[in-house]
A and B are shown apart, each in its own frame.
Chain A
Amino acid sequence: MNSKKQPIAPRRKTSFKVYMKRYWQLYALLSLPLLYLLIFKYVPMIYIQIAFKKYSIVESVWKLPLAKNYGFEYFIKAFKSKDFILALRNTVGLNLLDLVIGFPAPIIFALILNELCFKRFKKVVQTIAYMPHFLSWVIIYGLALQLFAPSTGFINMILNNLGMESVPFLNESRHWVATYAGLGVWQNFGWGSIVYLAAIAGISPELYEAASVDGAGRFKKMWHITLPGIKPTIVVLLVMNLGNILGSNFDRPFALQNNLVMDVANVISTYVYKVGIKGLQFSLTTAVGLFQSVVGVFFLLMANWISRKLGERGIW
Chain B
Amino acid sequence: MKKKVLSILLAGAMVMSMAACGGDSGDSQSSAAASGSTGSSSSAAAGSSAADAGNATGELVDGKFAETRTITVEVYNRENDGGSDPTNNMYTEYIKQGMLEDHNVQVEFVSVPRWTEVEQINNLLAAGDAPDICVTYDYPTIQTYANMGGVLDLAPYLEDYKAELPNLWDWLGETNLYWDRDPETGTVWGIEAKLAVSNRINTFVRQDWLDALNMKAPTTKQEFEEMLIAFRDNADKLLGADADKMIPYSVSFDVGWRAATLIESFIDPAISDREFYVNGFDDRKLTQEGTKEAIRLLNKWYNDGLLWDDFALYGSGDSTEDDMMKAGYVGAFTHNWDYPFRNGEDSINASLQRIVGEDAAYVAIDCFEDKNGDYTKFVPGPIDRKIFFPSTNDEPLACMLYLDWISDPEHIEYLQIGDEGVTHNVLEDGAVETVAATGDAIQNSGMNIDYTITCNGLKLADAEKTAISRAHNYAGIDAAIVQAADVIANTDMRVGKNVNVGALSSEEGMGPVLSEKRDIAYDNAVIAPVADFDKVWDQGVQDYLNAGGQAIMDEREEKWVATYGDVDMLP
Contacts and interface: CB of A to CB of B under 8 A. Distances in A.
Interface of A: 25, 28-29, 31-32, 35, 39, 55-59, 82-83, 145, 149-153, 160, 166, 170-171, 258-260, 262, 274-275, 277-282
B36 to A, nearest CB: 6
A166 B309 CA distance: 10
Contacts, number: 107
A281 B140 CA distance: 13
17 contacts: A25-B4, A28-B14, A32-B15, A56-B149, A58-B391, A82-B546, A145-B313, A150-B309, A151-B309, A160-B244, A171-B313, A171-B527, A260-B523, A279-B509, A279-B511, A280-B126, A282-B126
Given A58-B149, A260-B527, 11 more contacts: A58-B36, A58-B39, A58-B150, A82-B547, A145-B314, A171-B312, A260-B313, A274-B516, A275-B513, A277-B122, A279-B511
A184 B40 CA distance: 48
Contacts of A275: 513
Contacts of A149: 309-310, 313
B161 interface: no
B315 A258 contact: yes
B446 to A, nearest CB: 27
A254 B231 CA distance: 36
B512 interface: yes
Contacts of B512: 274, 278-279
B14 to A, nearest CB: 6
Contacts of A59: 149
Nearest to B309: A151
Q: Tell me the interface secondary structure of chain B in the complex.
A: helix
Nearest to A262: B520
B141 A280 contact: yes
A171 B308 CA distance: 13
A22 to B, nearest CB: 12
B312 A281 contact: no
A259 B524 contact: yes
A55 B15 contact: no
A260 B524 contact: yes
Contacts of A145: 310, 313-314
B510 A28 contact: no
Contacts of A152: 245, 310
A60 to B, nearest CB: 8
A311 B144 CA distance: 55
A39 B21 CA distance: 11
Interface string B131-156: 00000000001001100111000000
B22 A35 contact: yes
B11 A280 contact: no
Contacts of A260: 312-313, 520, 523-524, 527
Please classify how large the interface on chain B is, using the bins under 10, 10 to 19, 20 to 34, 35 or more: 35 or more
Interface of B: 4, 7-8, 11, 14-15, 18, 22, 25, 36, 39-40, 118-119, 122-123, 125-126, 128, 141, 144-145, 148-150, 244-245, 253, 308-310, 312-315, 391, 508-513, 516, 519-520, 523-524, 527, 543, 546-547
B310 A150 contact: yes
B126 A274 contact: no
Contacts of A25: 4, 7-8, 11
Closest 6 A/B residue pairs (Cβ): A278-B512, A151-B309, A28-B11, A56-B148, A259-B523, A280-B509
Given A151-B310, A274-B516, A29 B509 contact: no
B496 to A, nearest CB: 25
Nearest to A170: B313
Nearest to A83: B547
A116 B92 CA distance: 63
A103 B308 CA distance: 38
A282 B127 CA distance: 12
A277 B123 contact: yes
Given A151-B310, A274-B516, A57 B150 contact: yes
A279 B25 CA distance: 27
A260 B302 CA distance: 14
A66 B376 CA distance: 50
Identify which of B22, B119, B513 gathers the most chain A CB atoms within 10 Å of its CB: B513
Contacts of A39: 22, 25
Contact of B128 (A56, A57, A279): A57
A259 B126 CA distance: 27
A39 B527 CA distance: 49
Given A57-B125, A259-B519, A262-B520, A279 B513 contact: yes
Contacts of A274: 512-513, 516
A13 to B, nearest CB: 26
Contacts of A170: 313
A57 B509 CA distance: 14
A29 B14 contact: yes
